[in-house]
Chain A
Amino acid sequence: MARVLINFPQRAKRGDIIEIKTLIQHPMETGYRLDNKGATIPREIINLFACTYNGDEVFRAELFPAISANPFIAFSTVAAESGELVFSWTDDRGQTQTETRQIIVE
C-alpha cells in the first residue's frame, strides 16, 4: 500500500467550507521515458481520484501523465453532517487504494 497523508479539520461547524489536502506516494510513470537500455518504461499512473462524504461524491479528478510523482490534491467541501470521508485512488492496473477518515460536524 502506498503511503498517504490526508489533512482536514477534525471538527467543523455546520455549513463551514473545509479544505481537504491529500498526498499519496506514487511514481506517476508517464510512459514517455526510456530506461538506460532505450526501452520504454511502461506507463503507470494514478488515473482517478475521488472523495465521497457520507456516500455522496464531493470531488473527482481524472489524472494524466503530466501530473508529477506523489500527487498532491487539495479541494474543499461544505461540512454538512458528522460522518466519514472516503478517499480513493485508482491506478492504471485497476487497483484502488481507499482511505477512510472521520469528521465531526457540530
Chain B
Amino acid sequence: MKALLGGVLGLAAQVALAAGIAPEERRSGYDFAGPEIRAMQDDDTTNPGNLWVLQGETLWAKPVGAASRSCADCHGDSRDSMKGVAARYPALDPTLARPLDLEQRINRCRSEHQRAEPLAWESDDLLALTAFVARQSRGLPIAVSTGPELRPFAELGRELFEGREGQLNLSCSQCHDDNWGKRLAGNVIPQGHPTGYPVYRLEWQSLGSLQRRLRNCMTGVRAEPFDYGAPEAVAIELYLMERARGMSMAPPAVRP
C-alpha cells in the first residue's frame, strides 16, 4: 500500500511539474525513429509518401468541377505559390471565422473556386493534394499565426491536449509532454510534433493525415474520436502546430 501510495504521489508530482517541453528539448518524431526509417524518409525514391506527391502533382494541373479550373490556373507554380503554406496551417478562414486545416482549405477551394465536390477525408486524392502542397514547405520552420482571432481555438486545443479522456482516463500531454522518450509497449513515445504530415505510417501501409493520427491516439485511450474535420480536432491540430513552432517541416515523413 505504501509503495502504491508512493507511486501515485510520484506520478502526481511528475504531472504537477510538467509544463510542456522546453524549446531546446523539442525533438521531431524523426529523431525517435530507427536508422532504417530515417533512411527511408530521406531518400526521395524510397519514401513511399512520394508516390502521393507525384499523384498530387498531376491533380494540381488537372481542371475539375463546374468551373473547369485546376489548382495551377489560380496558384501557378506550386514551388513558389505553395512554399511555406503548409507551415502556416491550420489558418483562419475570415468568412467562417474559425481555423481550417490544410485538407479543409483544399476542399473549400474546391467547392468555392472549382465548384467541385469536396474530396473525402483520407481519400487518395485528398492525401495526394495535401502531400503535394505540404512537400513545398519541406525544410521551412512551422509558423502558424498567433493572431488574437485564433487564440481561443489554440486555447481550446491546449485544454483538449491536457484534459484526461477515455476509459483509460489519459490526456495527450501525459504521454507526449511528461513521458516522451519512454516506451509504450515496444514503441518509443514521441513528443507528438506534427512536422511531417501527411505521414506514411508503416502500420497503416498508407499515407494518412494528422486527424487520422489523432483519432488513432484517441481510440488508443478508449475515447470516442472526434469526427474528421470536427472543430475540436482542428483546434488540437492548431495547438500542436503552435507547440512545434519553429521546428522544421519534413513532409511526407515516414513513421513506424
B138-162 toward A: CB 8 Å interface, digit per residue (1/0)? 0000000000000000000000000
Tally of contact residues, A, Cβ under 8 A? 15
A44 to B202, CA, bound (A): 19
Say yes or no: is A3 at the interface (Cβ < 8 Å to chain B). Answer: yes
- CB neighbours of B44 from chain A (8 A): 5
User: B residues engaging A (CB < 8 A)?
Assistant: 44-46, 48, 50-52, 54-55, 202, 205-206
Which chain B residue shows the least CB distance to A74?
Answer: B46
A70 to B48, CA, bound (A): 7
A72 contacts B46, CB within 8 Å? yes
A21-50 toward B: CB 8 Å interface, digit per residue (1/0)? 101110110000000000000000000000
Give the A-B contact count at a CB cut-off of 8 A.
Answer: 36
B51 contacts A5, CB within 8 Å? yes
- CB neighbours of A69 from chain B (8 A): 205-206
A5 contacts B205, CB within 8 Å? no
- CB neighbours of B202 from chain A (8 A): 68
Say yes or no: is A7 at the interface (Cβ < 8 Å to chain B). Answer: yes
A60 to B83, CA, bound (A): 41
- Within the complex, the shortest CB–CB distance from B203 to chain A, in Å, comes to 10
A68 contacts B51, CB within 8 Å? no
| 15 residue pairs from A and B, CB less than 8 Å apart | A3-B54, A3-B55, A4-B51, A5-B45, A5-B50, A6-B45, A21-B45, A21-B46, A23-B46, A23-B50, A27-B205, A68-B202, A69-B205, A70-B48, A70-B205
Q: Given A69-B205, A69-B206, are A25 and B51 also a contact pair (CB < 8 Å)?
A: yes
